[in-house]
A = this chain, B = another copy of it.
Amino acid sequence: MRDVAVIGVGMQPWGELWDKSLRDLFVEAALLALADTRVDKLDNMYIGCMSGGLFVGQEHIGALMADYLGQRHLPAARVESACASGGLAFRCAFAEVASGLSDIVLAGGVEKMTDVSGDGATFALATAADQEYEVFHGATFPGLYALMARAHMEKYGTTRDQLAQVAVKNHKHGAKNPNAQYPFEITLEQVKSSVMIADPLRILDCSPITDGAAAVILCPLEMAKKFTDKPLVKVIGAGQATDALALHARKDMTTIESTTVAAKRAFAMANKKPQDIHFAEVHDCFTIAEIMVTESLGFFPAGKGGPAVEAGETTIGGRMPINPSGGLKAKGHPVGATGIAQIYEVVKQLRGEAGARQVTGARIGLAQNMGGSGASSLVHILEVA
């Protein structure tokens, strides 16, 4: 298996981008990633997209995007694991290069979510849950995560203020990210008095609906210097796992077991421990998710994720900075693109290009991306080569 490097990254400022179609969004991010390298011809492409069919009536986007990117005939695939589709695209691209099947591979993610009417976005997102046992009976994602939040509060004493601190911290980081959908700070009081969505989760506990894309370019480490003069970033760990799709079928709804298993696999491949990681981008689709995920990754013991946020340990400058990009909460969450945007941020940090949100001394970073209520997880570990 060959060593693999990330040599280019690209994304546009995210938001409600009414003037850009699905193909516009992807091509823009892909061109930015290409322009970050000296690559002009790709060998393969994997695109994460959760539901082009339900959001904009377009499946089969591998071929569409290859053509609009000016790379007609390129092998190009769309991959999906709900909100973990971007992380999955990155893993497929990694396998493609590691195997020797292809040299220069683009991993991208895209979602155009604001062009649906009424409750279309909520319906489309709900297809990530179990249609027969959850969605049919009325479950939505805020509802499922609210159940997890209540169980976590009950079992560990996690507080309403600790949940709110996740949002406050991520907006503090996101205010320094020019690509963030909501690049401004918010207060604890604002979170706690925002409109109730699914008790105990309020609207400022939830990540938004977003249009956006992101792309990264991978190649064999030994070829990387041909295509970039920037610091080389090596993929040292890749872990993937699933769990029961329906929340009620899990062993324990206060932890994300698919993340724990995926992380174990990634740490084993990288020969690292959680304590070796300098910062992480994690999947904070709701505030409770970030707390559970930081525990499931082994950064904090079970039940200590909430106190860690409150103590500032996960803020840039703290012991374990989490979501320096602003996370899904402030940066936005175009579901298929999120996993790739995490890699974008990890690479920017490892290169020392993160500007006002730079994590000092960052040499090993982790990205954790998950789908649905945590039924699938991808964990990647990257290190300065």
- Chain A interface (Cβ < 8 Å from any Cβ of B): 1, 21, 23, 44, 50-54, 56-60, 62-64, 66-67, 72-82, 88, 92, 95-96, 98-101, 123-124, 126-132, 135, 238, 240-245, 249, 257-258, 261-262, 371-372, 375-376
CA distance A217 to B66 in the complex (A): 30
Q: Which residue from chain B places its CB closest to the CB of A99 in the assembled complex?
A: B99
CA distance A123 to B130 in the complex (A): 23
With A53-B51, A78-B81 already in contact, the answer to whether A261 and B58 are too (CB < 8 A) is: no
Chain B residues within an 8 Å CB radius of A376:
60, 62-63, 76
CA distance A51 to B164 in the complex (A): 37
Selected contact of A56 from candidates B128, B131, B371, B372, CB within 8 Å: B131
Chain B residues within an 8 Å CB radius of A82:
59-60
CA distance A78 to B79 in the complex (A): 6
The winner among A1, A64, A66, A238 for most chain B CB atoms within 10 A is: A64
Kindly report how many copies of this chain are found in the complex they form together. 2
CA distance A372 to B66 in the complex (A): 15
The 28 sampled A-B contact pairs (Cβ below 8 Å) are A21-B132, A53-B53, A54-B59, A56-B131, A57-B131, A59-B127, A60-B129, A60-B371, A60-B375, A60-B376, A62-B242, A62-B376, A63-B243, A64-B130, A64-B245, A67-B244, A72-B244, A73-B243, A73-B261, A75-B241, A75-B242, A77-B79, A78-B80, A79-B79, A79-B80, A95-B96, A96-B99, A98-B101
What is the predominant secondary structure among interface residues of chain A facing chain B? mixed
Q: Which residue from chain B places its CB closest to the CB of A129 in the assembled complex?
A: B60
Selected contact of A54 from candidates B53, B81, B245, B258, CB within 8 Å: B53
* Contact between A59 and B99, CB atoms less than 8 A apart: no
How far, in Å, is A371 (CB) from chain B's closest CB? 6
- Given A67-B375, A73-B258, 12 other A-B residues pairs in contact with their CB atoms under 8 A: A21-B132, A59-B82, A62-B81, A64-B375, A67-B244, A67-B249, A72-B242, A75-B241, A76-B376, A78-B79, A92-B92, A98-B99
Q: Which residue from chain B places its CB closest to the CB of A136 in the assembled complex?
A: B57
The winner among A44, A77, A78, A135 for most chain B CB atoms within 10 A is: A77
Q: Which residue from chain B places its CB closest to the CB of A76 in the assembled complex?
A: B242
CA distance A260 to B261 in the complex (A): 42
* Contact between B73 and A241, CB atoms less than 8 A apart: yes
Q: Which residue from chain B places its CB closest to the CB of A92 in the assembled complex?
A: B92
